Amino acid sequence: MNLSDLTASVLRISDIYAAEHNIDRDRDWALLKLQEELGELTAEHLRLTGRARGTPDKDKLGDEAADVLGMLLLYCDRAGIDLETAMQRKWLHWLEKTA
């Protein structure tokens, strides 16, 4: 699956979830949810590294990382960011310099 296909699937799932739970996804919703999911990923990381209460769960860490990625894709879509182009411009161009 490429990034465009993944984004399309995430958008469809978000639409389903919003309809089922009557969520108003206004202008800043995706960014706020991204921040929320990053907090949950951080909490799991702290549990896994023995710096927070609770039972460490590596699967949950992966689930939270997936939530962060999903919300980032939603945010980029809503903000009109072409993430593939941005990654090329910001990160991947370094590989061309070493070739």
Q: Read off the DSSP letter of residue 83.
A: H
Instruction: State pLDDT tens for residues 52-92.
Output: 999 999 999 999 999 999 999 999 999 999 999 999 999 99
Q: What is the pTM of this model?
A: 0.93
Quickly state the pLDDT bin for 97 (edges 50, 70, 90).
Answer: confident
Fold of 3-98: Helix Hairpins (1.10.287)
Length of the chain, please? 99
Alpha helices in the chain (DSSP H): 3-21, 29-48, 58-79, 83-87, 93-98
> What whole-number distance in Å separates Cα of residue 9 and Cα of residue 66?
13
User: What secondary structure, in 3-state letters, does 49-70 show?
Assistant: CCCCCCCCCHHHHHHHHHHHHH
pLDDT of residue 15: 98
